[in-house]
Amino acid sequence: MPTPAQVGSKLTSLLFEDRLATDILRSTQRVTLGVLLGILLAVPVGFLIGWYRSVRTFLDPLINFFRALPPIALIPLVVVYFGIDEPAKVIILFYASFFAGVIVMYEGVAQISPIFIKVARTLGASDHEIFFKVIVPLSMPHILTALRVALGVAWATLVASELVAAQQGLGALIQSAGAFFQIDVIYVGIVCIGTVALSMDLALRVLTRRLIRWQDRVEAQ
Amino acid sequence: MSDPRIIFDDVSVDFETERGPLRVVDGVSLSIHDQEFICIVGPSGCGKTTLMNIVAGFLRPSSGRVTLDGRPIAGPGRDRGVIFQEYGVFPWLSVRDNILFGLRLKGRRVAASEQQRVCQKYLDLMGLADFAQAFPKTLSGGMRQRLAIARAYAAQPDFLLMDEPFGALDAQTRSKMQDLLLEVLKRERKTVIMITHSVDEAMYLASRIVVVTARPARIRSIITTPPAYPRREALHETPEFGALKAHVRDLVMAEYEVQQQLSSTVSNAA
């Protein structure tokens, strides 16, 4: 087992050989694209499911069925339908992000207190105004939480998505290092995934604090 | 006397429950005139809020009808401002934007300068001017309540429907809020329907007190209070006022006891 110092020096040497920088960039691009697409779909679907009881009754079991499938098990199907190029990898990340995000969204939307809608109605708001001036702002915290959860899940799925004939990316790096028994490179890959995921999460947290200053949050002591 | 504005005509409401329909309001008839201050007093859980929800437009009666200026009430509208027990201030908007919410809606077409003028007026009146930019999370309970009232007022409704608006406040704040309400009403005449379980509050504020029975809510008695201002002094000093208050208290207490027996039978049966 390599010492942390050995992993550290491997990391710097790989960084300067320029392969690692490309790997990090590639993986970050894939994760970002997959998460954005996933959340873009999860938000409207989450609204529908959270808002309409009938839609929920119908879609809830379906969503839980697909959510339970590990993305890695879908790889052969993805290869059949989408080939082995870039879209295949992004689709796996999209899949993982969507199902993680949609649950957060609809649980959040379902919890919106009806009192705010009643108040808006008595002030004369139309349905359209109630959606954009009441439901959307109240959903912002849930959208941002969905984004954070999806980001975590997408990074966790990255290695699986790069099983699909990837030449570049941190998952590909780990897999090829595994094949050649380069334990220190495996650790470098793990450290990079963790670090990038952590920095993206921190950035999202800062964004959340900016966007929803109104929220009464209980800070952990 | 002018025509009544709101008329309850033999109104009954049944709720569907697992054990069949439950009657919560039974045969209520009541006429409310312009600029009256009606207090509805009765035991908690008796159906007072249901009466208010009908006027607000959130609920249709199971039988009978409720009309506003001769037309049946079809839904909520900005002519009837509602102040809810749980305030319902919008947490994502600053104090100022909460007050502006109703004025900025498309249906209103209020000019921007007029919006600001009305908003500032109620910020000042409710003592919220120093907190105009603050979010509701930083406000105390009394301030949130004032904000809810300011927001309802700013929409300039003809009617104010208040459901135990001061119930969650401490005694001092409550009494301050009552005075503030009377002061505002002196300037802008409105028709008020307030639900309360405090006889003191009803005697202090109302022009007519409607005592309702334990569930299902029926009208037990309607008491017209003598016009007396300033009322705080009249309440303490004149013998008629004292006797009337004792009378209302007896009526309400009797219904409280019935309601308590009702609730204990229900919990025994469950």
Domains in chain A (CATH in brackets) are 4-211 (1.10.3720.10)
| Listed residue (A11, A1, A3) closest to A190, CA to CA | A11
Kindly report the nearest CA distance between residue A133 and chain B, in angstroms: 9
Q: B261 and B171 in one domain?
A: yes
The per-residue b/e assignment along A1-30, b for 16 or more CB within 10 angstroms, e otherwise, is ebeeeebeebbeebeeeeebeebbebbbeb
Sorting pLDDT into bands at 50, 70 and 90, what band is B87?
confident
**Number of folded domains that form chain B:** 2
Q: B250 and B182 in one domain?
A: yes
The per-residue b/e assignment along A102-120, b for 16 or more CB within 10 angstroms, e otherwise, is bbbbbebbeebeeebbbbb
For B155, name the nearest residue in chain A, comparing CA atoms only.
A123
The parent domain of residue B108 ranges over 89-156
Q: B35 and B166 in one domain?
A: yes
Whether A40 contacts A102, CB under 8 Å: no
Q: B248 and B165 in one domain?
A: yes
Is it the case that residue B171 has pLDDT exceeding 80?
A: yes
What global pTM score does this model have? 0.81
Q: Which pLDDT score is estimated for A56?
A: 85
Is it the case that residue B75 has pLDDT exceeding 70?
A: yes
B 144-173 residues with CB < 8 A to A = 151-152, 155
> Does residue B141 belong to the interface with chain A, where contact is any CB pair within 8 Å?
no
Q: Which amino acid is at B213?
A: T
DSSP string covering B161-187, please?
A: EEESTTTTS-HHHHHHHHHHHHHHHHH
Taking contacts as CB-CB distances below 8 angstroms, the residues of chain B near A138 are 92
Q: What is the average pLDDT across B137-165? A: 90
Task: Determine whether the interchain pair A213/B135 forms a contact, defined as Cβ–Cβ distance below 8 Å.
Answer: yes
Strands B6-17 and B20-32: antiparallel
Q: B238 and B116 in one domain?
A: no
Q: Last residue of some domain: B141, B156, B171? A: B156
Q: State the sign of the Cα–Cα–Cα–Cα dihedral B138, B141, B143, B145.
A: positive
Q: B103 and B35 in one domain?
A: no
Sorting pLDDT into bands at 50, 70 and 90, what band is A198?
very high
Which among A116, A119, A209 is the top mutation candidate for probing chain B, defined by the most B β-carbons within 10 Å of its own β-carbon?
A119
| Residue where the block lists tokens 């207490």 | B253
B195-237 pLDDT tens trace: 998 888 888 888 899 998 888 888 888 888 877 655 666 666 6
Is it the case that residue A132 has pLDDT exceeding 60?
A: yes
Is it the case that residue A220 has pLDDT exceeding 50?
A: no
- Give CA separation, B245 vs B44, B164, B242, B251, in Å: 19, 19, 5, 10
> Does residue A82 belong to the interface with chain B, where contact is any CB pair within 8 Å?
no
Q: What is the average pLDDT across B64-72? A: 90
A65-120 pLDDT tens trace: 888 888 888 888 888 888 888 888 899 999 999 999 999 998 888 888 889 999 99
Q: What is the average pLDDT across A179-195? A: 89
> Cα A1 to chain center, whole Å?
32
Q: B176 and B258 in one domain?
A: yes
| Listed residue (B112, B149, B144) closest to B131, CA to CA | B144
Min mean pLDDT across A143-157, B72-86, B122-136, B177-191 is at: B177-191
Whether A121 contacts A134, CB under 8 Å: no
| Listed residue (A188, A201, A205) closest to A24, CA to CA | A188
Average pLDDT, chain A: 87
Structure tokens at B77: 């509208």
Q: Which pLDDT score is estimated for B270?
A: 45
Q: Which pLDDT score is estimated for B219?
A: 86
For B134, name the nearest residue in chain A, comparing CA atoms only.
A214
